A and B are shown apart, each in its own frame.
Chain A
Amino acid sequence: MKSRIPVVLLACGSFNPITNMHLRLFEVARDHLHQTGMYKVIGGIISPVNDNYRKKDLVAAHHRVAMARLALQTSDWIRVDPWESEQAQWMETVKVLRHHHSELLRSLPQTEGPDHGRAHSLAPTGSALVFPAVPELKLLCGADILKTFQTPNLWKEAHIQEIVEKFGMVCVSRTGHNPKEYISGSAILQRYQHNIHLVREPVQNELSSTYIRRALSQGQSVKYLLPDAVITYIKEHNLYTGDSS
Chain B
Amino acid sequence: MVKFRNAGDKEKISQASGEEKYNEQGVRVFHLDQQLQVLTMENSEKTEVVLLACGSFNPITNMHLRLFELAKDYMNGTGKYRVIKGVISPVGDAYKKKGLISAHHRVIMAELATKNSEWVEVDTWESLQKDWVETLKVLRHHQEKLEASSCDPQQDSPRLERPGRKRKWAEQRQDFGQKELLEPKTKDVPKVKLLCGADLLESFGVPNLWKREDITRIVGDYGLICITRAGNDAEKFIYESDALWKHRNNIHLVNEWITNDISSTKIRRALRRGQSIRYLVPDLVREYIEKHDLYSPESEERNVGVVLAPLQKNTAEANS
Nearest B-chain residue to A22, judged by Cβ: B279
Q: Does A31 contact B (CB under 8 A)?
A: yes
Return chain A residues, CB-CB under 8 Å to B161: none
A220-B73, A224-B66, A228-B116 as given contacts; A205 in contact with B260, CB under 8 Å: yes
Q: Which of B69, B70, B283 touches A74 (beta carbons < 8 Å)?
A: B283
Q: How far is the CA of A207 from the CA of B261 in the complex (A)?
A: 10
A203-B261, A204-B259, A205-B259 as given contacts; A224 in contact with B65, CB under 8 Å: yes
Return chain B residues, CB-CB under 8 Å to A211: 257-258
Q: Are A27 and B279 in contact (CB under 8 A)?
A: yes
Nearest B-chain residue to A214, judged by Cβ: B257
Q: How far is the CA of A46 from the CA of B275 in the complex (A)?
A: 21
Q: Are B65 and A202 in contact (CB under 8 A)?
A: no
Q: Are A208 and B258 in contact (CB under 8 A)?
A: yes
Q: How far is the CA of A205 from the CA of B229 in the complex (A)?
A: 12
Q: How far is the CA of A23 from the CA of B277 in the complex (A)?
A: 11
Q: Are B66 and A203 in contact (CB under 8 A)?
A: no
Closest-CB distance, A39 to chain B (whole angstroms): 15
Q: How far is the CA of A225 from the CA of B62 in the complex (A)?
A: 8
Q: Which of B65, B259, B261, B263 touches A223 (beta carbons < 8 Å)?
A: B65
Q: Are A20 and B279 in contact (CB under 8 A)?
A: yes
Return chain A residues, CB-CB under 8 Å to B263: 203
Nearest B-chain residue to A19, judged by Cβ: B279
A207-B258, A208-B258 as given contacts; A202 in contact with B266, CB under 8 Å: yes
Q: Which of A20, A30, A208, A221 touches B276 (beta carbons < 8 Å)?
A: A30
Q: Are B260 and A207 in contact (CB under 8 A)?
A: yes
A74-B283, A225-B66 as given contacts; A31 in contact with B276, CB under 8 Å: yes
Return chain A residues, CB-CB under 8 Å to B261: 203-205
A193-233 vs B, Cβ < 8 Å mask (1 yes, 0 no): 00000000011111110010000000011111100100000
Q: Does A52 contact B (CB under 8 A)?
A: no
Return chain A residues, CB-CB under 8 Å to B62: 20, 224-225
A202-B270, A228-B116 as given contacts; A175 in contact with B259, CB under 8 Å: yes
Q: Are A206 and B258 in contact (CB under 8 A)?
A: yes
Q: Are A24 and B280 in contact (CB under 8 A)?
A: yes
Q: Does A28 contact B (CB under 8 A)?
A: yes
Q: Does B168 contact A (CB under 8 A)?
A: no
Q: How far is the CA of A30 from the CA of B266 in the complex (A)?
A: 18
Q: Are B279 and A23 in contact (CB under 8 A)?
A: yes
Return chain A residues, CB-CB under 8 Å to B259: 175, 204-206
Q: How many residues of B contact A (CB 8 A)?
A: 27
Q: Does B262 contact A (CB under 8 A)?
A: yes
Q: Are A31 and B279 in contact (CB under 8 A)?
A: no
Which residues of chain B from 166 to 198 have any CB-CB distance to chain A below 8 Å in the complex?
none
Q: How far is the CA of A99 from the CA of B89 in the complex (A)?
A: 52
Return chain B residues, CB-CB under 8 Å to A207: 258, 260
Q: Are B257 and A221 in contact (CB under 8 A)?
A: no
Q: Does B97 contact A (CB under 8 A)?
A: no
Q: How far is the CA of A10 from the CA of B259 in the complex (A)?
A: 26
Q: How far is the CA of A228 from the CA of B113 in the complex (A)?
A: 12
Nearest B-chain residue to A174, judged by Cβ: B259
Q: Does B278 contact A (CB under 8 A)?
A: yes
Q: Does B72 contact A (CB under 8 A)?
A: yes
Return chain B residues, CB-CB under 8 Å to A204: 259, 261
Nearest A-chain residue to B70, judged by Cβ: A221
Return chain A residues, CB-CB under 8 Å to B258: 205-208, 211
Return chain B residues, CB-CB under 8 Å to A28: 275-276
Return chain A residues, CB-CB under 8 Å to B65: 223-224
Q: Which of A30, A221, A228 touches B73 (beta carbons < 8 Å)?
A: A221
Which residues of chain B from 254 to 306 have any CB-CB distance to chain A below 8 Å in the complex?
257-263, 266, 269-270, 274-276, 278-280, 282-283
Q: How far is the CA of A208 from the CA of B269 in the complex (A)?
A: 25
Which residues of chain B from 215 to 274 have any CB-CB distance to chain A below 8 Å in the complex?
257-263, 266, 269-270, 274
Q: How far is the CA of A20 from the CA of B66 in the complex (A)?
A: 13
Pull 21 A–B residue pairs with CB atoms less than 8 Å apart, ordered by A. Answer: A20-B279, A27-B278, A28-B276, A30-B276, A31-B274, A74-B283, A203-B261, A203-B263, A203-B266, A203-B280, A204-B259, A205-B258, A205-B259, A211-B257, A222-B69, A224-B62, A224-B66, A224-B69, A224-B282, A225-B260, A228-B116
Residues of chain B touching chain A, judged by Cβ–Cβ distance below 8 Å, are: 62, 65-66, 69-70, 72-73, 116-117, 257-263, 266, 269-270, 274-276, 278-280, 282-283
Contacts A211-B258, A223-B66 aside, 5 further interface pairs with beta carbons under 8 A come to A175-B259, A204-B261, A208-B258, A221-B72, A223-B117
Residues of chain A touching chain B, judged by Cβ–Cβ distance below 8 Å, are: 20, 23-24, 27-28, 30-31, 74, 175, 202-208, 211, 220-225, 228
Sorted nearest first, the 9 A-B pairs with minimum C-beta distance are A221-B69, A27-B276, A206-B258, A20-B279, A224-B62, A204-B261, A206-B259, A224-B65, A23-B279
